[in-house]
Amino acid sequence: MNAPDSSLPSQPSAPRRSRGGAALVTALVVDSLGNGLFLPLSLVFFLQLTDVPLALLGLLLTLANAVTLPAPVWVGTLVDRFGARPLVVAAQLLQAVGFAAYALVHGPVGVFAASALVAVGVRVFWSSVFTAIAEHAEADEAARPGQAWSKDTWFSVANGARTAGLAIGGLATGVVIADGRDGTYVAVAYASAVCFGVAALLIAVVVPSRHRTRPEDTAGQPAAAEDEPTGYRALLRDRPFAVLTALNTVYALTSMMLGLALPTVVLTVLEAPAWLTAAVLAGNAALIAVLSAPVGLRTPRYRRTRVLAVAAGLWTAWAAGMALLAPGRLGVVVVVVVSVTLLFTAAELLHAPASTALAAAAAPDGARGRYLAVFQYSFTAASIVAPAFFTTLASVTSALPWLALAALNAVSVVVLLRLEQRLPAAALREGPAVGPA
């Protein structure tokens, strides 16, 4: 990470969040709380309350998610035309209706319909929410120069808010599973629906609209109108952005691996008790929720590419440490696992805001919705690949998935630093254009 530029203008006081921003952060927490309440129950819920067999349930849930794969392409175009806020609100309302329907369905058709509603809502949300945050950050900075949070800080706080909501919801769901009564499961579905309804209301009513009108040409007509059909063709020809998206697929894959693989590693490789997994994951979530804002206030002074390079370096060290794990005395195992997980947590704190801010800043005017929607496919691809990546390599030897991850992240640092020269200078850091390192 390079030193801050001394040429950057000093600010009269520490940046702070706007009132509309407080409502936006609250909405993100409530939204994630709804997800956290239900995410651990997505399969168990229907097993408990319907007669649909497990194999068919798995197929229905997979199909419900598969039909949403084209959604970001359409969402990106709508965001660029109408702004992100209406799409975010619509996504949350879709999820509210879907979760309310969960409590009413009994057969395969109902399960698929309710699951598809939720899945579409989730896909639309993640394809539009980061543009909404960027729009809010820009409008806030225009209204309060030098006093507003940067986009990097906003994306960091959003990551912390999401993690906090998921963690709180997940803890509450643990109580539900322990209770085991049908009525309690139904109550969770309705509680999730209420969370999404409240989040939609906050964003629709309290958070002001921040969508910028399109630039006009000399005739007073929207200048972007004629390039609308070629918007995605132009994006596909943007090779630096394609490389950035590919790199983020590696980072997204890495970020998913802790929750996906740690339970297996703890039980089968370390032969340690299951509570170690829960403690490590809870500690990781708590640190991200607490430290996202402080980290997000400090990283904007550095180039986003350099922040990502540091994150990839930390993930390289984490994966190498995971490859070296072996059974031993419980006290030693706990210390080692916690120590290497701290490397993962530090990387996640750096990656989440810098990657999204860089993708948003690399997008041309009038196309940011499409760029960020396509950027989300890196997370989609990673979620599809991750289970097979881990299980296939782990079947050869327990260290192989981690050695492969370490190699991918190490190579990404080299690619990222070369990519830095081809990205727009203004995208590397918010504020004045960045000169040579």
pLDDT score recorded for residue 221: 43
pLDDT score recorded for residue 223: 41
Q: How far apart are CA 432 and CA 437, in angstroms?
A: 14
Q: How confident is the model at residue 144 (pLDDT cuts 50, 70, 90)?
A: confident
The sign of the CA dihedral 341, 342, 346, 352 is positive
Q: How far apart are CA 275 and CA 223, in angstroms?
A: 58
Residue intervals of the chain classified under CATH 1.20.1250.20 are: 17-213, 233-432
Topology classification of domain 17-213: Growth Hormone; Chain: A; (1.20.1250)
Q: Model confidence over 366-422: pLDDT tens digits?
A: 899 999 999 999 999 999 999 999 999 999 999 999 999 999 999 999 999 999 999
Among 45-54, 159-168, 215-224, 425-434, the least confident range: 215-224
pLDDT score recorded for residue 147: 67
Q: How confident is the model at residue 1 (pLDDT cuts 50, 70, 90)?
A: low
Q: How far apart are CA 269 and CA 267, in angstroms?
A: 6
Q: How confident is the model at residue 3 (pLDDT cuts 50, 70, 90)?
A: very low
Quote the longest CA-to-CA distance of the chain: 76
Whether residue 437 has pLDDT greater than 50: no
Q: Model confidence over 259-275: pLDDT tens digits?
A: 889 999 998 899 999 89
Burial degree of 209 (CB within 10 A; 0-12, 13-18, 19+): middle
* Average pLDDT rounded to a whole number, residues 187-199: 91
User: Long-range contacts: 80-84, Cβ < 8 Å, 24+?
Assistant: 80/224, 80/231, 80/366, 80/367, 80/368, 80/369, 80/370, 82/211, 83/132, 83/135, 83/209, 83/210, 83/211, 84/128, 84/129, 84/131, 84/132, 84/135, 84/211, 84/369
Among 206-210, 315-319, 379-383, 429-433, the least confident range: 429-433
Q: How far apart are CA 235 and CA 363, in angstroms?
A: 9
Q: How far apart are CA 322 and CA 127, in angstroms?
A: 32
pLDDT score recorded for residue 212: 57
Contact 434, 428 (CB under 8 A): yes
Q: Model confidence over 97-113: pLDDT tens digits?
A: 999 999 898 899 999 99
Contact 113, 63 (CB under 8 A): no
pLDDT score recorded for residue 9: 40
* Average pLDDT rounded to a whole number, residues 74-78: 93
CA angle 91, 97, 103 (to 5 degrees): 140
pLDDT score recorded for residue 45: 83
Among 259, 84, 234, 266, which residue's Cα sits nearest to residue 158? 84
Q: How confident is the model at residue 258 (pLDDT cuts 50, 70, 90)?
A: very high
pLDDT score recorded for residue 229: 39
**List of residues 6+ apart from 225 with CB closer than 8 A:** none
Q: Model confidence over 196-240: pLDDT tens digits?
A: 999 999 998 877 666 654 544 334 444 443 344 346 788 888 999
Q: Which stretch of DSSP H or E encloses residue 416? A: helix 400-419
CATH class, domain 233-432, is mainly alpha
Q: Token pair of 5, please?
A: 């530029």
Contact 99, 196 (CB under 8 A): yes
Q: What is the mean pLDDT of the chain?
A: 85
Among 23, 11, 25, which residue's Cα sits nearest to residue 148? 11
Whether residue 435 has pLDDT greater than 50: no
Contact 93, 201 (CB under 8 A): no
Q: How confident is the model at residue 257 (pLDDT cuts 50, 70, 90)?
A: very high
The residues that bridge with 16 in the sheet, in sequence order, are 148
Whether residue 337 has pLDDT greater than 90: yes
> Whole-prediction pTM value?
0.85
DSSP tag of 304: H
Q: Token pair of 281, please?
A: 């994951």
Contact 238, 79 (CB under 8 A): no
Listed in sequence order, the DSSP H helices in 299-329 are 304-323
pLDDT score recorded for residue 20: 65
The residues that bridge with 148 in the sheet, in sequence order, are 16
3-state secondary structure of 270: coil
Q: Model confidence over 110-132: pLDDT tens digits?
A: 999 999 999 999 999 999 999 99
* Average pLDDT rounded to a whole number, residues 350-364: 93
Whether residue 11 has pLDDT greater than 70: no
Q: How far apart are CA 186 and CA 46, in angstroms?
A: 10
DSSP tag of 228: G
